[in-house]
Chains A and B, each alone.
Chain A
Amino acid sequence: MSTPLTRRSQWMGVLALAGTERLQEAWDALAAPPEYNLVRGPETGLVMVRARSGNGGRRFNLGEMTVTRCSVNLQGGIMGHAWISGMRPDHARLAALFDAMLQDPQHSDELRRTLVEPLLLARKEHLARRAHEVRPSRVDFFTLVRGED
């Protein structure tokens, strides 16, 4: 299923996970980079990562992580946001810019083809490779029926 919202969270995800150099290359390759204002940041802070064990238990604080966020405003009024891990202000700014441009019908098709699709593919390959690497060491735990009664 693909709604505008899931599509956006998908591209925000791969933009955040991509290498900074990759985003910089894509920005440098733009024929006409758009004018923009910084609305907030880029600024770095800590967020508390919370989790549930087994995705069902009580929520607990896993630990703090460093996050850099940035919000930009294109000349036409479209806003882009990015939250990325670590202290990478340039990455956050570029990811927010691409988020804004991807919402702009004028740029979205081109950018999806040249940036988002390749990033999605690379991400998929990376995950598949990781899964393949760890598969040999996989252990399944199970208990045989003990028949004590």
Chain B
Amino acid sequence: MLQPIPAGFSRPVFESQGVFRVILQAMSHPGQVVPMPARPRGPLNWPGAMAAAVLTLCDMDTPLWLDPAAGTSEALRFVRFHCGSPVVDAPRKAAFAVILDPENMPDLEAFSSGSAEYPERSATVLLSVATSAPPDRRIFLHGPGVAGRNEFPRNWLPEGFTDRWQFNFGLFPRGVDVILAGEDFVVGLPRTVSMEEEPCM
């Protein structure tokens, strides 16, 4: 009987519009750290920006895949109640994926990369970022929407991600898009951006 559902937005219309604007900003300026205006409580262990992005982007037409760390029974109740999204068991079937444990995430190829005719039918992968570790090296981004180059700490992404990204980048116009979600910010990594790690000293 006791199956509480975490609260969603308190003002759903205004907050989801605000969050959508922020996600647009992030996707059109790859690598830029964009502050998240609303942070609903969301399920336990979900970063605030992750819950906000899911509430904004997902509805009954967007199959959602949750990695084992994200897919708690509380989180399932949360997305079913607030978004009404079907939760799917295979990454390939998902329009959006929530990943709370990036180190053990599936390969990007496991997600739908769309088709040549309909590249927009690909998946958008929401990746949780832990900012607690001190930054080591940096990652540089180039591409449309980036003036010169953008950068962020390498350990915001899982080990070996830049190599996997090169493959995804090569699929253009197909490919998945990634949104990094921290506690109070998002970073957009659309398929158009190229990524390189700062060389070791």
Q: What residues of chain A have their CB less than 8 Å away from a CB belonging to chain B?
A: 37-40, 43, 71, 73, 76-79, 103
The CA-CA distance from A40 to B8 in the complex, in Å, is 7
Contact in complex: A79, B7 (CB < 8 Å): no
By a CB distance below 8 angstroms, the chain A residues around B8 are 39-40
By a CB distance below 8 angstroms, the chain A residues around B2 are 76-78
- Which of A37, A38, A79, A103 is most buried by chain B, counting CB atoms within 10 A of its CB? A79
B3 close to A (CB within 8 Å): yes
Contact in complex: B1, A103 (CB < 8 Å): yes
Out of B1, B3, B4, B7, which one reaches A38, CB within 8 Å?
A: B7
Q: Is the interface of B mostly helix, strand, loop or mixed?
A: loop
By a CB distance below 8 angstroms, the chain B residues around A73 are 4-5, 7
B12 close to A (CB within 8 Å): yes
**In the complex, residue of chain B having the shortest beta-carbon distance to the beta carbon of A76:** B2
By a CB distance below 8 angstroms, the chain B residues around A40 are 7-8, 81-82
Contact in complex: A79, B82 (CB < 8 Å): no
A77-B12 contact in complex given A40-B81, A40-B82, C-beta closer than 8 Å: no
Q: Is the interface of A mostly helix, strand, loop or mixed?
A: strand
Among all A-B residue pairs, the 4 with the closest Cβ atoms: A77-B2, A77-B4, A39-B7, A73-B4
By a CB distance below 8 angstroms, the chain B residues around A37 are 7
By a CB distance below 8 angstroms, the chain A residues around B7 are 37-40, 73
**In the complex, residue of chain B having the shortest beta-carbon distance to the beta carbon of A40:** B8
By a CB distance below 8 angstroms, the chain B residues around A77 are 2-4
By a CB distance below 8 angstroms, the chain A residues around B10 are 38
9 contacts between A and B (CB under 8 A): A37-B7, A39-B6, A39-B7, A39-B8, A40-B8, A43-B12, A73-B7, A77-B3, A78-B2
**In the complex, residue of chain B having the shortest beta-carbon distance to the beta carbon of A41:** B12
The CA-CA distance from A76 to B2 in the complex, in Å, is 8
**In the complex, residue of chain A having the shortest beta-carbon distance to the beta carbon of B5:** A39
By a CB distance below 8 angstroms, the chain B residues around A43 are 12
Contact in complex: A79, B12 (CB < 8 Å): no
Taking the closest CB of chain A, its distance from the CB of B185, in whole angstroms, is 26
Contact in complex: B1, A78 (CB < 8 Å): yes
The CA-CA distance from A28 to B8 in the complex, in Å, is 28
**In the complex, residue of chain A having the shortest beta-carbon distance to the beta carbon of B9:** A40
Instruction: List B residues 1-27 near A (Cβ within 8 Å).
Output: 1-8, 10, 12
Taking the closest CB of chain B, its distance from the CB of A96, in whole angstroms, is 13
**In the complex, residue of chain A having the shortest beta-carbon distance to the beta carbon of B10:** A38
Instruction: List B residues 144-174 near A (Cβ within 8 Å).
Output: none
The CA-CA distance from A40 to B41 in the complex, in Å, is 13
The CA-CA distance from A73 to B77 in the complex, in Å, is 14
The CA-CA distance from A71 to B77 in the complex, in Å, is 13
Taking the closest CB of chain A, its distance from the CB of B160, in whole angstroms, is 40
The CA-CA distance from A103 to B8 in the complex, in Å, is 23
By a CB distance below 8 angstroms, the chain A residues around B1 are 78, 103
The CA-CA distance from A77 to B4 in the complex, in Å, is 5
The CA-CA distance from A37 to B41 in the complex, in Å, is 12
Contact in complex: A71, B5 (CB < 8 Å): yes
By a CB distance below 8 angstroms, the chain B residues around A39 are 4-8, 81
**In the complex, residue of chain A having the shortest beta-carbon distance to the beta carbon of B82:** A40
By a CB distance below 8 angstroms, the chain A residues around B82 are 40
